[in-house]
Amino acid sequence: MRRIWMVFAVLCLLCTSCTPQAPLTQSFLALDTACSVKLYGGATEARLRMAVSTVEEYERLWSRTVPQSDIARLNAAEGEAVALAEETSALLETASAWMQETDGAFDITVAPYKELWETASAVPSEDVLREAGQRVGAEKLLSSPWRLADGASLDLGAIAKGAVADKLCERLKADGCTGALIDLGGNITALGRKPDGSPFHVAIADPRDTSKTLLTVAVTDVTLSTSGSYQRFYELEGRRYSHILDPKTGHPVENDLLAVTVIAPCGADADALSTACFVMGFDKGKALIDSLDGIEAVFVKTDGAAVPTDGVPFC
């Protein structure tokens, strides 16, 4: 029987308030994962409720498994154009840009592959994967208006958590929030600073043993997004397979990386790039990050070596 397991998130928070007022925290389930929001400096219960409802709102908009979401309706439209929310159109534009920039290592049209692995009782055959692959690729996503060609379908799982964090930060800032930590399934967003004006400290866990810290960074107004072969996986025929699939083959990714954490001012960018870099492998992934201004990463290789890019803000 096919099972999907989730293990500990790669990122853990090390932050504590430096004022007598303790932060307000809410843990909840959304986006098919465990989430939490921690508000600092003048936090209120109303603001906390708003934060949770914002995450739930965008899950209803972007999840392919939520009936009547924008993505579910687009997937079911059989190639016809669908009226989408402005936020969805903007996110598809961002996703399309990263699909091109990464030469398809990041690809939101992988849903046909994901559906195969999620429902399989045995490892999908090459013939089955090739058939699904005919419905995968950047050319299947058409814009102006948005529609899908050749039976394609979308899954925003590799960008949605970061994009939701971006939307939540916009609302928190508009509401006067000056400090928050948002954890959406291990994707950590640091909004603003701690009440004493110092940056937040976030620990990146060792993927070989998530009870141990690999390194700690001091961050402000960035998202740390981690992709790895150990976090979530498919278990088939007595073997574990990474839940991250290579869009070019449909196979779970197996290369020289255990995990990649990308640090970027935009959560959607961090989310998409962590997946792309993990699919690419170390050499191509690091070359991509090195070519991008204002974006850093930590690559953890299969031998356990952690390789940060030059601008990683260590504590």
Look up the CATH superfamily of 3-62+159-308: ApbE-like domains (3.10.520.10)
pLDDT at 39 over 60: yes
Instruction: Tell me the residue ranges of DSSP E strands in the chain.
Output: 3-6, 11-13, 24-30, 33-39, 141-142, 147-148, 179-184, 187-192, 200-206, 209-219, 222-228, 232-236, 239-242, 257-264, 296-301, 306-308
pLDDT at 22: 84
pLDDT at 14 over 50: no
- In 3-state terms the chain splits into helix, strand, coil percentages (rounded to 5) of 30, 30, 40
Instruction: Name the token pair of 217.
Output: 């960074």
Distance CA 282, CA 234 (A): 23
Confidence of residue 230 (pLDDT cuts 50, 70, 90): confident
Distance CA 47, CA 39 (A): 8
Q: Greater confidence, 230 or 241?
A: 241
pLDDT at 15: 42
Distance CA 177, CA 166 (A): 14
Confidence of residue 86 (pLDDT cuts 50, 70, 90): very high
**What integer is the mean pLDDT of 208-236?**
91
DSSP 125: P
- Enumerate the domain spans of the chain: 3-62+159-308, 78-148
Query: 78-148 adopts what CATH topology?
Result: T-fold (1.10.3980)
Q: For the segment 213-222, what is each residue's pLDDT rounded down to a tens digit?
A: 999 999 999 9
pLDDT at 18: 39
Confidence of residue 19 (pLDDT cuts 50, 70, 90): very low
Q: For the segment 3-12, what is each residue's pLDDT rounded down to a tens digit?
A: 333 333 444 4
Q: For the segment 177-187, what is each residue's pLDDT rounded down to a tens digit?
A: 999 999 999 89
Instruction: Name the token pair of 225.
Output: 């997004």
Residue 81: CB partners within 8 Å, gap ≥ 6?
145, 146, 147
Strand 187-192 versus strand 222-228 pairing type: antiparallel
How many whole angstroms from its chain centre is CA 223?
A: 10
Q: For the segment 137-148, what is each residue's pLDDT rounded down to a tens digit?
A: 999 999 999 999
